[in-house]
């Protein structure tokens, strides 16, 4: 789930003030992804969550990963769901608070308020690309992991949603597309993430999740577009034109197909420090 305003701190704060923008994007993926297994169950499959594990999620948002997988979580695991946004943490707490395994924290991944070697695993699901000082975040994640602990860091590839980006550019030519942001060598994408994570962790592995969007309704696709920074480049007239075009194309072709490219870096901390 990407947004063009990648690592501009003000834009990121505004974008994630609460869960509404993220929900619009989540809905499109939920309804129109061809891989019916689902991203969140797949991410859970990759985690080594045996009983007693202590887990930190940074940039956890409203806790989608746990809303989807709570029933599979061993009873004795302890999880801290953290996010920079008070609104996101409030939403995660509202949904998961009754479950004694979860605690919640407002925290910036660049300055984690936890002791050294506290966690067996840290999860950073589609969030490191928003962090301006990623080196600090990776150093902090490494610091709070115990020796032998693991980082799970998900991100997107440079081709992720490329058709959607082209579509928006057609109606808002002055919009700086996220494809441009992903072309930035400083971005955190599947193509360069292993190098970045590898500076802090001795072993890194990339696992890809195969998927695609086949969208058969204009409304959720337009809502997705308006949930991100393209909103400021689309006035009412442009939005109407975009919606009409999408409806017309869906009627003509049966569906709009959109490339997805997401994956997970699994990184191992040294067994001894
Ligand atoms: C794309 S959302 C992903 C949410 C969740 N991990 C998921 O996959 O559903 C990115 C999240 O990262 C958070 N975030 C952005 N910068 C952050 C930072 N420096 N430290 C902690 N969280 C941050 C945002 O508030 C937002 O909730």
Q: How far is the CA of 113 from the centre of ligand 1 (A)?
A: 16
User: With the CA atoms of 167, 219, 69 and 112 taken in that order, what torsion angle do they form, in degrees rounded to the nearest 10?
Assistant: 60
pLDDT (average), residues 34-53 = 96
Distance of CA 37 from the midpoint of ligand 1 (Å): 23
CB 209 near ligand 1, within 6 Å = no
Tokens representing 137 are 């975040």
For residue 50, tell me if it sits in a domain: yes
Q: What would the pLDDT profile of 89-121 be if each residue is shown by its tens digit?
A: 999 999 999 999 999 999 999 999 999 999 999
pLDDT average, residue stretch 183-200: 90
Examine residue 193 and state whether it is found in any structural domain, yes or no.
yes
Indicate the number of domains in the chain. Answer: 1
Is residue 37, in this structure, part of any structural domain at all?
yes
Does the pLDDT value for residue 189 go beyond 80? yes
Nearest CA to ligand 1 atom 12: 59
Which CATH number do you get for residue 15? 3.40.50.150
- Average pLDDT, integer, range 148-167: 94
Q: Print the domain residue range for 89.
A: 8-158+179-212+261-268
Please tell me the pTM assigned to this model. Answer: 0.94
How big, in percent rounded to 5, are the helix, strand and coil portions of the chain?
Answer: 40, 20, 35
Domain membership of residue 254 (yes or no) is no
pLDDT in tens, 203-240: 999 999 999 999 999 999 999 999 888 888 889 999 99
Distance 202 CA to ligand 1 centre (A): 25
Query: Which positions ≥6 away from 108 have C-beta within 8 Å?
Result: 84
Beta strands in 114-192 (DSSP E): 119-125, 145-156
Nearest CA to ligand 1 atom 17: 84
Banded model confidence at residue 9, pLDDT cuts 50, 70, 90: confident
Q: Is the CB of 134 under 6 A from ligand 1?
A: no
In this model, does residue 251 exceed pLDDT 50? Answer: yes
CA distances (Å), 245 to each of 137, 219, 233, 242, in order?
Answer: 41, 12, 17, 5
List CB contacts of 96: < 8 A, sequence separation 6 or more. Answer: 63, 66, 67, 70, 81, 102, 104
* 252 Cα–ligand 1 center, Å: 37
In a domain, 217, yes or no: no
Given a cut of 80, whether residue 87 has pLDDT beyond it is: yes
245 in a structural domain: no
> Using the 8-state DSSP alphabet, how is residue 104 labeled?
E
In a domain, 146, yes or no: yes
Establish if 227 belongs to a structural domain.
no
91 lines ligand 1 (CB under 6 A): no
Q: Which of 6, 26, 130 to mutate to test the pocket of ligand 1 (most atoms within 8 A of CB)?
A: 130
């Amino acid at each position: 789930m990407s947004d063009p305003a990648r690592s501009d701190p003000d834009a990121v704060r505004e974008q994630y003030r609460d869960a509404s923008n993220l929900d619009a994007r989540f809905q499109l993926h939920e309804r129109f992804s061809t891989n019916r297994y689902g991203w969140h169950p797949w991410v859970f499959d990759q985690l080594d969550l045996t009983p007693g594990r202590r887990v930190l999620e940074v940039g956890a948002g409203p806790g989608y990963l746990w809303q989807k997988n709570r029933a599979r979580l061993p009873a004795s695991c302890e999880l801290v769901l953290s996010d920079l946004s008070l609104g996101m943490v409030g939403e995660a707490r509202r949904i998961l608070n009754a479950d004694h395994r979860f605690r919640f924290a407002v925290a910036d991944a660049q300055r984690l308020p936890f002791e050294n070697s506290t966690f067996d695993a840290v999860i950073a699901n589609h969030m490191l690309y928003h962090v301006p000082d990623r080196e600090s975040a990776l150093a902090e994640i490494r610091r709070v992991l115990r020796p032998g602990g693991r980082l799970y860091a998900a991100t997107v590839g440079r081709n992720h949603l490329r058709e959607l980006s082209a579509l928006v550019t057609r109606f808002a030519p002055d919009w700086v597309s996220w494809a441009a942001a992903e072309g930035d060598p400083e971005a955190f994408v599947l193509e360069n993430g292993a190098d970045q994570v590898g500076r802090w962790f001795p072993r890194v592995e990339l696992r890809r999740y195969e998927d695609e969007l086949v969208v058969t309704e204009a409304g959720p696709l337009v809502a997705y577009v308006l949930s991100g920074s393209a909103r400021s480049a689309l006035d009412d007239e442009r939005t109407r034109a975009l919606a009409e075009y999408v409806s017309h194309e869906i009627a003509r072709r049966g569906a709009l197909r959109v490339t997805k490219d997401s994956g997970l870096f699994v990184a191992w901390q040294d067994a001894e420090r």
